Amino acid sequence: MLAHVTENKGIAPLLTALAKSLREDDHFVLRIVGSLDAEPAYAAACRSQVASHPGLKASVSFTGPLAPPEARAELCSADLMVSASRFESYGMVLAEARAAGVPILATPGGNVAAHVEGIAGGELAADIRLLAARLVALMRSPALLAERKRAALAHRCHRPWDAAARELAAVVTSQRGASKQAQAT
């Protein structure tokens, strides 16, 4: 996960759902990369949650923020990008995952679905409980995870920022035109 440890990113509910889904013999690594200072009480609660559950304690770590090159290296070395975010207006990390060829497992919210495609190894889980269940299923099936990684690499999607800016400007211009036309009638 590349996300600031804030309530909107859905980390605590994901940790709760993961704790309920894990078996004693499950082994995985979930690194949460992002600021622990934006909502310090929430971040402390998440860290406490991990520390109090043996399966989470053995598998989940909070690395804190990284400089952009290190964050990109972390992303590129990942087998999977997990997002439990409640809402993403654009989803920059998800776009970066698609460009890097990293499969995405996420919950829908805002623009998330625009970045997640089954053909690219991605999957949208309807809620946090299902997200945790799918994450556990993937970590228990290295062959399926490798298949998703191959699909993500084969279907990389790079959308330059200038293209995104042009599309946004076109939408804003269109909406302004529609608003002016509605005011004129």
Residue 136 lies in a domain: yes
Smallest Cα–Cα separation from 36: which of 58, 65, 61, 9?
A: 65
Three-state DSSP class for residue 88: strand
Smallest Cα–Cα separation from 98: which of 64, 121, 65?
A: 121
Stated pTM of the model: 0.85
Q: How many other β-carbons are positioned within 10 Å of the β-carbon of residue 85?
A: 23
Three-state DSSP class for residue 115: coil
Residues of the domain holding 126: 7-158
Smallest Cα–Cα separation from 29: which of 80, 100, 66, 104?
A: 80
Residue 133 lies in a domain: yes
- Strand extents, DSSP E, 18-80: 30-33, 60-64
Residue 168 lies in a domain: no
Q: Which residues contact 155 (CB under 8 A, 6 or more apart)?
A: 117, 119, 120, 121
pLDDT in tens, 6-50: 999 999 999 999 999 999 999 999 999 999 999 999 999 999 999
Residue 137 lies in a domain: yes
Residue 54 lies in a domain: yes
Share of the chain above pLDDT 70, in %: 90
What CATH number is attached to the domain comprising 13?
3.40.50.2000
Number of domains in the chain: 1
What is the per-residue pLDDT for 179? 64
